[in-house]
Amino acid sequence: MKISLVIPLYNEQELIGELVQRSVAALKGITDDFEILFVDDGSRDLTLRRLLEYRSVEPRIKVLELSKNFGHQAAFTAGLSLAKGEFVAMMDGDLQDPPERIPEMFGMLQSGDYDVIYAKRTNRVDFSSRNLQALLFHKSFTRMSGLSDMDKTGNFSMMNRAALSALLQFSETTRYMPGLRSYIGYRQGFILYNRDDRLRGKSKMKWSKLLGLSSDAIFSFSKLPIRICLYLGLTGIIVFFIAGIYTLIAKIAGFAIIGWSSTLLSIYFLGSIQLTFLGVLGEYIYRIYKEIQRRPLYLVRKFNE
Ligand code: UDP
Ligand code: MG
pLDDT digits (tens, 9 = 90+) for 193-241: 988 777 787 877 777 887 888 888 888 777 787 778 778 878 877 887 8
CB atoms within 10 A of CB 243: 13
Q: Is the pLDDT of residue 187 over 80?
A: yes
pLDDT band, very low/low/confident/very high, at 1 (cuts 50, 70, 90): confident
Pocket test for ligand 1, best of 14, 72, 211 (most atoms within 8 A of CB): 72
pLDDT at 164: 96
pLDDT band, very low/low/confident/very high, at 128 (cuts 50, 70, 90): low
Tell me how far the alpha carbon of residue 277 lies from the centroid of ligand 2, in angstroms.
35
142 and 56 share a domain?
yes
Least confident among 34-48, 68-82, 277-291: 277-291
Q: Are 218 and 143 in contact (CB under 8 A)?
A: no
Output the pTM of the full model.
0.77
113 and 161 share a domain?
yes
pLDDT at 204: 76
Q: Are 27 and 111 in contact (CB under 8 A)?
A: no
Task: Look up residue 45 and give its DSSP letter.
Answer: S
CA distance 56 to 46: 16
Q: Is the pLDDT of residue 125 over 80?
A: no
121 and 264 share a domain?
no
Q: Which residues line ligand 1 (CB under 6 A)?
A: 8-10, 12, 41, 69, 71-72, 75, 92-94, 96, 198, 203-205
134 and 282 share a domain?
no
Q: Are 16 and 94 in contact (CB under 8 A)?
A: no
CATH number at residue 204: 3.90.550.10
**Coil vs helix vs strand at 191:** strand
Least confident among 43-47, 158-162, 279-283: 279-283
Q: Which of 140, 148, 141, 144 is nearest to 120 (CA)?
A: 148
C-alpha pair distances (Å), 282 with each of 211, 219, 226, 234, 287: 16, 11, 11, 20, 8
pLDDT at 281: 83
263 and 164 share a domain?
no
Q: Is the pLDDT of residue 154 over 80?
A: yes
131 and 166 share a domain?
yes
Summarize pLDDT for 57-103 with one digit per residue, the tens: 999 999 999 999 999 999 999 999 999 999 999 999 999 899 999 99
CB atoms within 10 A of CB 9: 26
pLDDT at 227: 79
117 and 229 share a domain?
no
Q: Is the pLDDT of residue 255 over 90?
A: no
pLDDT at 123: 73
Least confident among 159-163, 165-169, 266-270: 266-270
CA distance 105 to 88: 10
pLDDT band, very low/low/confident/very high, at 127 (cuts 50, 70, 90): low
Percentage of the chain exceeding pLDDT 90? 48
91 and 214 share a domain?
yes
* Domain count of the fold of the chain: 2
50 and 197 share a domain?
yes
CA distance 55 to 63: 8
Least confident among 12-26, 153-167, 254-268: 254-268
Nearest-5° Cα angle at 252, 246 to 253: 85
CA distance 235 to 229: 10
pLDDT at 38: 97
Tell me how far the alpha carbon of residue 2 lies from the centroid of ligand 1, in angstroms.
26
C-alpha pair distances (Å), 225 with each of 230, 278, 285: 9, 12, 13
Ligand 1 atom with minimal separation from the 130 CA:
24
Tell me how far the alpha carbon of residue 276 lies from the centroid of ligand 1, in angstroms.
32
Tell me how far the alpha carbon of residue 41 lies from the centroid of ligand 2, in angstroms.
15
Summarize pLDDT for 25-38 with one digit per residue, the tens: 999 999 999 999 99
CB atoms within 10 A of CB 23: 23
Mean of per-residue pLDDT scores for the chain? 87
**Residues with Cβ within 5 Å of ion ligand 2?**
94, 96, 198
265 and 184 share a domain?
no
155 and 271 share a domain?
no
**139-154 mean pLDDT:** 77
217 and 265 share a domain?
no
Q: In which domain, by residue range, is 238 found?
A: 224-293
**15-28 mean pLDDT:** 94
